[in-house]
Structure 1
Amino acid sequence: MRINITSIYVADQQKALDFYTRVLGFEVKHDIPVGEGARWLTLVSPSDPEGTELLLEPMGHPAAAVFCEALYADGLPFTQFEVADIAAEYQRLLDLGVRFTMEPTAAGPVTVAVLDDTCGHYIQLIQA
């Protein structure tokens, strides 16, 4: 058993697609219309195109919005992405105008940073 898809709830799939592809560098794996303007929209890492997919899930259920708003209000990351060189990635994203709530910080055996994805989520970056 393995994780093949994980989701992040988004109010605007196109806005999320733009940020996650143009800024973070993910690639579209599936983009299939599923009715009423929604899409089955998954992304993958270009370094692992057959790996875990990130589903940009439409925020259709009322609980999803409450959950996401609570995490954001408390400053808690929704999910985490691993990077090979957090200092370089931090600088690359800063240069693209990404807002960070935590710069790269040592936390035991890892270094972490937290960014705002412009879609109502904080995302934690980690380097082992």
Structure 2
Amino acid sequence: MRHIALVTLVVDDYDEAIGFYTRALGFRLVEDDARPGGGRWVVVAPGPDQLGTGLLLARAADTGQRSRIGDQTGGRVGFFLHTDDFARDHARMRAAGVTFLEEPRHEPYGTVAVFQDLYGNRWDLLQPAG
């Protein structure tokens, strides 16, 4: 079996990013290991187990990478967080200070609202239909 294990997300600060993803979005910290040269291997994931895709939080190493923080997908929604209870997660995330860019809407494919992470990357919170 094959699957995408990690997606890199360029961040400004490891600890700030860990705090946002674990506290505001409810992700869990999977790994946080020191690397030579002051870097770290930091992985967060939304689920309670190893299934699914995790985010590799990579601190920007130069001005080129820093210029892409918060806009890695050219202003499009680039990340999709599925939930089995939209109302629960939407309320919890709002209470934690997550910025939603629209009110929840009901589409044929499910209930969805666009939010942004602490750097401005756009995400869908989505409860699939059916």
Distance, in Å, in 1 between the alignment partners of 2:62 and 2:39 is: 13
Q: Which residue of 1 aligns with 2:117?
A: 117
Q: Which residue of 1 aligns with 2:108?
A: 108
Task: Answer with 61-70 or 117-126: which moved more.
Answer: 61-70
Task: Answer with 45-54 or 114-123: which moved more.
Answer: 45-54
5+ residue gaps in structure 1?
none
Matched-pair contact (CA < 8 Å) for 1:8–1:56: yes
Matched-pair contact (CA < 8 Å) for 1:8–1:78: no
Task: Answer with 76-85 or 56-65: which moved more.
Answer: 56-65
Percent of aligned positions that are identical: 29
Q: Tell whether 2:98 aligns with 1:95.
A: no
Distance, in Å, in 2 between the alignment partners of 1:72 and 1:120 is: 11
Distance, in Å, in 2 between the alignment partners of 1:103 and 1:45 is: 22
Matched-pair contact (CA < 8 Å) for 1:28–1:42: yes
Matched-pair contact (CA < 8 Å) for 1:23–1:93: yes
Pairwise CA RMSD: 2.3
Distance, in Å, in 1 between the alignment partners of 2:114 and 2:47 is: 21
Aligned-pair CA distance for 1:33: 1.0
5+ residue gaps in structure 2?
none
Distance, in Å, in 1 between the alignment partners of 2:70 and 2:29 is: 26
Q: Which amino acid aligns with 1:100?
A: F
* Alignment CA distance shift 1:71-1:32 (3 Å): closer
Q: Which residue of 2 aligns with 1:58?
A: 59
Once the two structures are superposed, residues 55-107 of structure 1 have per-residue CA deviations (whole angstroms, 9 ceiling, x without a partner) of: 11222355444444545874x22311111111221111111222110222122
**Higher-helix-fraction structure:** 1
Distance, in Å, in 2 between the alignment partners of 1:103 and 1:16 is: 25
Matched-pair contact (CA < 8 Å) for 1:7–1:57: yes
Aligned-pair CA distance for 1:41: 0.2
Alignment of 1:1-128 (within 5 A): 1-60=2-61, 62-70=63-71, 74=75, 76-128=76-128
TM-score, scaled relative to structure 2: 0.81
